[in-house]
Structure 1
Amino acid sequence: MVEATVVLIADRFAALDDAVQQAVAAGPEVLPGPLVEQVRALEHRAGERLRLSERHTVVAVAGATGSGKSSLVNALVGEEVATVDVLRPTTAHAMAVVHGVADAGPLLDWLEIDERVGRPDARPGGLVLVDMPDHDSVRTSHRLEAERLIGLVDLMVWVLDPQKYADAAVHERYLRTLAAYRDVLLVVLNQVDRLEPDQAEVTLGDVRRLLAEDGLDGVRVLPVSARTGAGVADLRNTLADVAFRHEAHRARLEADVMSLADRVVACCGTDDVAVPRADRALVDALALAAKVPTVVEAAAGSYRLSARLATGWPPTRWLARLRADPLHAMHLAPARHPRGTEQGTGRGVDRETDEAVARTSLPPAGPAERAHAAGAVRDWRDRAVAALPDSWALAARGADLDLADELDHAVASTPVVAGRTPLWWRAVGALQWLVLVLAIVGVGWLAALAGMGALRLPVPDPPRWGALPVPTALALGGALLGLLLAGVARLAAGVGARRAGGRAAARLHDAVARVADARVVAPVADVVARHQACRAAATRAAARARRREGR
């Protein structure tokens, strides 16, 4: 039965400790170092305590100099086992009185208590009563020993006296820090024999009030007198009941978990923090640093040039070929085929190697643009971490970033303009060649007629189309229609260029947003996610411990 209980306790504690360990694993470099070490040490300490003894309950009798700790221990044991001096501290080292159950040696070795007294026939069995050094001793070694043992024992009996029960040092340095340990804490008001009955009631009420202010409302307060024996039997029975139930060590470990979990939650703050996303201000600032407006303007210019080469009046197209494609000049479009007029893909491709180029030939961002981008990154980080506690916000901010290379590569590898030739270009181009052929036919016809006249040959009267001879109508009509088509196509190309620029801007902003997500947002989102995991795990551990304690 005892072994099954131990396994159950170990499993319950493991579930709690797991949650706290998960909390610390989420933020080891953000949480205070001592807190991280305490959490990591708790698992080892808990395993040692459960392994060493499940039949012993270690009760520490702690208090200030002159409060009567050692006298109370003697009264509980029934004989003089502790040295008493009312004027100065006499307990230099902890002394343990083991009641009823043998084999407490390994547990006392773990507690590093060398001075031991056995009570094999006494009741309650399994109770280990520890007389502690004074916590307010003038000797530092005494105080450190008392604080060490307070961190290890299963139950604490804190002894107050009518003279110093309201001492601020006692409450601020010790009792107030034990709020999480209210279920493994008893408070004893010793030396009540020095008070009149009505004074004792008033003093007990004041003690309970001070404990409530310390967060220890509901902790049991027992009035005793080690000198007269008043209340000692009640305290002895209370300790006997605790030792019989063998639950104090489990409650102490759960209180340890809850205390550490509360401290982790305090380090994580109380506000929920949303996972951040890149906003328009950040992307726009990075796009400006990446020269996206320049590339968008070049994409529109490349579209207009390609449209002119495909739809312009054929005899004048060679003038357009003299102009450089602005995207090609930036290494964002392939070189044009010497005879072709097809539009470039708008992608950084080297025709000889067929590989995406790593960089554009855009001029690097100037100091003003870099400063603007860096400021936008800082502003975005400040907004993203505004709800985080300072330590987490500091971890999320990180170092300043220089994204020039990543942004340039993102621009270089983004298809800026669609690679396919618009159908209307093909239709207008075909129509231009048709009207050119008609104009050439008309000019040739007129030339033939003029040649026949120059040779004094009979010149036939050409057919007429209304008032105009057909050859003249073909020559003039073809030229005028071709120029008209070129003008209309140029207007249409302007509209298409604006649309092409808009599409290029959208693609480039998407590429810049991906860089922002990977290099700016992702590190901050990781810290926020770890903060959420840390806070959730610690809150879960503390809440679970409180449910088990019925709070």
Structure 2
Amino acid sequence: MSVSITPPATQPRTGLGTRLAALSRVVELGPGRVNPTLLKESGQLLSRAGDRLKLSSDHTVVALAGGTGSGKSSLFNAVSGLELSPTGVRRPTTARTHACVWGLEGAGPLLDWLQIQWRHRFARASALDKGDSQLHGLILLDLPDHDSIRALTDREADRLIKVADLVVWVLDPQKYADAAMHTKYVAELAGHDAVTVFALNQADRLTREELAECMADLTALLKREGVASPTVVATSAITPGGADGLKAVLAHAVSKRRAAIQRLEADVERAARHLGAMMPPGDALTVPATVDAARRVGLTDALCDAVGVPALGEAMENIYGARSADYVGWPYARWASRLRGDPLKSLRLGDLRQEIRDLTAGAVQAQPAEVDNAIQALADGLSAGMHDTWRNAVKQAARSRAADLPRVLSEELSQAAPRLDRVPASWRLLKIWQYLLVVLFVAGVAWMGTTLLYGVLGVGELPDGLSVFGEVESLPWVGLMMFSVLGLGLLSAVASRNFVVLGAGNERDRLERDMRRRVSAVAESMVIEPVERELAKHHEFYTALRALRS
């Protein structure tokens, strides 16, 4: 019989172990992001690959699959050279999988994994293997009919088709284009060319021209359905040498000891194709894996605005200056200002006394709507270009603690509110200095009055020890002293106010830096860290997906 074998075009691929590791990472990161059915199938593939790679690499599992009446069991017997699988007109004939093993050593665990019952296992004795030594290491399975009306056997056929190293589809000339088989199985064979063989059985029923026409038609049909390089072989279970073509294909596969690896590679490729179609990588790796410094600063700025840090700093600066007037201002100006009303109202700051009480009590409130807008802006910027599933995941991560964020910000900034009942020591010293000058001025006034009374008007005589206060000659000096004291007090007040303005600015800067530091820390722990965890997962997922597809 003629054989048409076209080796599939191959390209350098990443090693199977690397791709399985990548698939494992995709499955680990996929829950909630990847279709559950696809994740389940990928997980089963990983389990199957792990099991198969631990079992005998010296054996190649070949499954003969086919529909009712295709002559699959007869072909099984023809290849094995023994009447091992029952044949007949009753359908379905094969109710349980039969296995024929060429070389039993090491095959037991593999047959156990395949769940082949003991009474259906057969071995080719060495005396009978003289002509089939090239098949040593072959485990040939005769599967139940895949279109069986018995659900149990149909499930068994499906299970073994998924785990066999190489699948031989046995087709008969009348039903090789059967829609059920092509729809259910052939559509899933894309990429499995190296581990799939199509046996056009019962070739003895056709003339040479009819056989060539059927094989050409079958090959064209398979190519149209996505099997790029189908291997098609003509077989006959009743013609002497009718199974030699299939034996040659099996011997080639057995000798290479590569079918198990090629099957797993094809399964991994199919998983990669399905995952890639569902979540195309595109430019996914250009999405940052971390939140950059500019976005961190932007989030901190937005949250500072939401909590009112600039307004608090300005209020702090104004309050600082207003309170300093009681300590470093010129006492005379302060006393005069009391006649004009409340000095705090003249600053046009609203109810500054209430602001003082609020700041001292730490009554700082964050605006939830503005906080939410800041988080949304960060998530939108970072998730641009992502797959919708990952974009939603990043947004959910950013908002995972959004409900608590305004409260935590308020509590944190309340701890940064200034202690406005604390008076700097320098203010107290300046106040002492100003009142010392007031005392000196009052003393000068008393001296001048005494001199006018006793030295100029002569109302009486001063005691000997106090006569100096009645000397008229001292009046110019006393007046100069009083003028100097007033000038010194005024200069001290002006200089002190300048220092206070500078100190108020420094205090505002210190308060705003402290608040920004606290806001930044809260944003880092409650927004940035959850987002970066999701970004890292996104980066790892697509890195693994690209390694899987490479």
Which TM-score tier does this pair reach, normalised by the shorter chain? Answer: 0.7 to 0.9
Cα distance between partner residues in 2 of 1:91 and 1:363: 80
Compare 44-53 and 410-419 and name the one that shifted more.
410-419
1:18-75 deviation line (CA, Å, top 9, x unaligned): 4443443445564455555555555654454345433321101223445443343344
Compare 83-92 and 66-75 and name the one that shifted more.
83-92
1:407-430 deviation line (CA, Å, top 9, x unaligned): 123213337699999999899879
**Partner AA of 1:56 in structure 2:** H
Output aligned runs, 1:262-273, within 5 Å. 269-270=280-281, 271-272=284-285, 273=287
Q: Say if 1:443 and 1:474, in contact at 8 Å, map to a contact too.
A: no
Residue of structure 2 equivalent to 1:329: 357
Output aligned runs, 1:265-344, within 5 Å. 269-270=280-281, 271-272=284-285, 273-277=287-291, 278-279=295-296, 282-314=299-331, 329-330=357-358
Q: Say if 1:91 and 1:132, in contact at 8 Å, map to a contact too.
A: yes
**Partner AA of 2:472 in structure 1:** P
Q: CA deviation at 1:239?
A: 0.6
| Residue among 60, 65, 73 paired with 1:62 | 65
1:128 aligns with 2:128: no
Q: CA deviation at 1:402?
A: 2.2
Q: Say if 2:363 and 2:414, in contact at 8 Å, map to a contact too.
A: no
Compare 241-250 and 165-174 and name the one that shifted more.
165-174
Cα distance between partner residues in 1 of 2:509 and 2:240: 93
| Residue among 401, 411, 414 paired with 2:413 | 411
**Secondary structure, counterpart of 1:62 in structure 2:** strand
1:158 aligns with 2:169: yes
Q: Say if 1:462 and 1:470, in contact at 8 Å, map to a contact too.
A: yes
Cα distance between partner residues in 1 of 2:300 and 2:89: 75
Q: Say if 1:417 and 1:500, in contact at 8 Å, map to a contact too.
A: no
**Secondary structure, counterpart of 2:169 in structure 1:** strand
Change in Cα spacing, 1:479 to 1:83, as seen in structure 2 (3 Å) is same
**Partner AA of 2:56 in structure 1:** S
Q: Say if 1:299 and 1:417, in contact at 8 Å, map to a contact too.
A: no
**Partner AA of 2:64 in structure 1:** V
In the comparison of the two structures, how many residue pairs are matched? 494
1:416-461 deviation line (CA, Å, top 9, x unaligned): 6999999998998798578657645653443343333354477524
Q: Say if 1:56 and 1:101, in contact at 8 Å, map to a contact too.
A: no
Residue of structure 2 equivalent to 1:234: 245
Aligned-residue RMSD, C-alpha: 4.4
Cα distance between partner residues in 2 of 1:512 and 1:91: 73
**Partner AA of 1:21 in structure 2:** S
Residue of structure 2 equivalent to 1:98: 101
Change in Cα spacing, 1:174 to 1:65, as seen in structure 2 (3 Å) is same
Residue of structure 2 equivalent to 1:207: 221
Change in Cα spacing, 1:199 to 1:41, as seen in structure 2 (3 Å) is closer
1:499-537 deviation line (CA, Å, top 9, x unaligned): 643553343233212212211121121122123223323
Cα distance between partner residues in 2 of 1:161 and 1:302: 97
Identical counterparts, % of pairs: 34
Residue of structure 2 equivalent to 1:116: 121
Residue of structure 1 equivalent to 2:378: 380
**Partner AA of 1:361 in structure 2:** G
| Residue among 239, 245, 248 paired with 2:256 | 245
Stretches of structure 2 that go unaligned for 5 or more consecutive residues are: 1-14, 345-351, 461-469
1:517 aligns with 2:524: yes
Output aligned runs, 1:425-440, within 5 Å. 439-440=441-442
Q: Say if 1:442 and 1:470, in contact at 8 Å, map to a contact too.
A: no
Residue of structure 2 equivalent to 1:548: none
Cα distance between partner residues in 2 of 1:363 and 1:415: 8
Q: Say if 1:20 and 1:537, in contact at 8 Å, map to a contact too.
A: yes
Q: Say if 2:97 and 2:143, in contact at 8 Å, map to a contact too.
A: yes
Q: Say if 2:359 and 2:418, in contact at 8 Å, map to a contact too.
A: no
Change in Cα spacing, 1:75 to 1:362, as seen in structure 2 (3 Å) is same
Change in Cα spacing, 1:47 to 1:274, as seen in structure 2 (3 Å) is closer
1:188 aligns with 2:199: yes
Change in Cα spacing, 1:442 to 1:21, as seen in structure 2 (3 Å) is same
1:446 aligns with 2:463: no
TM-score by length of 2: 0.73
Cα distance between partner residues in 2 of 1:237 and 1:382: 60
Output aligned runs, 1:468-479, within 5 Å. 469-476=476-483, 478-479=485-486
| Residue among 67, 77, 87 paired with 2:80 | 77
Cα distance between partner residues in 2 of 1:69 and 1:326: 94
Cα distance between partner residues in 2 of 1:178 and 1:108: 24
Bigger Rg over Cα:
2
**Secondary structure, counterpart of 1:135 in structure 2:** coil
Q: Say if 2:168 and 2:199, in contact at 8 Å, map to a contact too.
A: yes
Q: CA deviation at 1:274?
A: 1.3
Cα distance between partner residues in 2 of 1:450 and 1:52: 124
Cα distance between partner residues in 2 of 1:307 and 1:70: 104
Residue of structure 2 equivalent to 1:460: 472
Cα distance between partner residues in 2 of 1:288 and 1:142: 69
**Partner AA of 1:210 in structure 2:** R
Cα distance between partner residues in 2 of 1:31 and 1:419: 59
**Secondary structure, counterpart of 1:128 in structure 2:** strand
Change in Cα spacing, 1:148 to 1:442, as seen in structure 2 (3 Å) is same
**Secondary structure, counterpart of 1:59 in structure 2:** strand
Cα distance between partner residues in 1 of 2:213 and 2:184: 27
Q: Say if 2:99 and 2:140, in contact at 8 Å, map to a contact too.
A: yes
**Partner AA of 1:73 in structure 2:** F
Compare 200-209 and 128-137 and name the one that shifted more.
200-209
Compare 515-524 and 242-251 and name the one that shifted more.
242-251
Change in Cα spacing, 1:165 to 1:292, as seen in structure 2 (3 Å) is farther
Cα distance between partner residues in 2 of 1:75 and 1:532: 54
